[in-house]
Amino acid sequence: MTEQGVDEIVDRAISQKRTVKDILVEMRDTSELMVDLAYSALLTNSKEISDEVQKLEAWMDDLQYEIEGMLLLSARSREDAADLAGISHVALAAENIADSADDIVDVVQRGIGDHPIYKSMLGESTEQVARLHVSENSKLLDKKLGELRLSKTLGAYIRAIRRRGGWIYNPDKDTKILNGDILIVKGDLQSINGLKEML
C-alpha cells in the first residue's frame, strides 16, 4: 500500500470518529467470519466463498493500517506507548488469523479441492455456505430479517451482509435486506436453494 493510501485510511477513521475499540471489534468480527468462511470454502470447494475470504483479507489489511495510525496518534507519553503496544499486538493477532484464513482458501483458489484424493479425505459436508446477491426483484427486498424468520421457515442463517464496500456481521432482526446486498448464508442445500428462489 502506498503512503497516500495509508493517509486516506487514517483520515477516513478520524473523520468518521472511529475509536480504537471500534476498529478492534471490527477486526475481531472480520477475522471470525473469515475463518468460518475459509473452512466452509474448503469443505465445499467453493471458489465463490474463497473469493469472499480474499476480499475480506484485503479489508483486514486496511483495518490494520487504520488501527496502527490511530494508535500512533494516541500516544502522548512513554507510558501511553507501552499501554498501546498491547493493543497493537491484539490487532496483529487478528490480522494473522485473517492471513491464515487466506492461506486455507489457497487450496480452493489453486483448484486442488476437486482432486479425487482430496475429496475422499474431506468427505461430503451437509452444511453449505453460499454467497447470494439480492436483486431489485427479490421477495426479500426492504424486509427486516425479523419478519422474514429465515432460520425458522427455511433453516437458513444469514451470517453476514456485504453492503456498498462494508460489512454487517451477525445481522440482527432489525437489519433490512437492500438491493445489491451480498448475503453470506449458512444452511443445508435445501434451505439455501429455497432462499435462492426467494431472491
Residue type, 103: D
DSSP 18-29: --HHHHHHHHHH
End residue of a domain, out of 74, 94, 118:
118
- Rounded-to-integer distance, Cα 31 and Cα 125, Å: 22
* Structural domain harbouring 162: 126-198
- Per-residue model confidence (pLDDT) at position 53: 94
pLDDT, tens digit, 9 for 90 and up, residues 18-44:
888 999 999 999 999 999 899 888 877
Same domain, yes or no, for 141 and 86? Answer: no
End residue of a domain, out of 118, 144, 175:
118
List the grid coordinates of 133: 446477491
Helix, strand, coil tally for the chain in percent (to 5): 65, 15, 25
DSSP 76-106: -SHHHHHHHHHHHHHHHHHHHHHHHHHHHHH
Answer whether residue 197 shows pLDDT above 80: yes
Q: Indicate which CATH number applies to the domain containing 163.
A: 3.30.70.1450
Q: How many domains does the chain have?
A: 2
End residue of a domain, out of 101, 118, 135:
118
pLDDT, tens digit, 9 for 90 and up, residues 130-147:
889 998 889 899 999 999
What is the pLDDT confidence band of residue 72, given thresholds at 50, 70 and 90?
Answer: confident
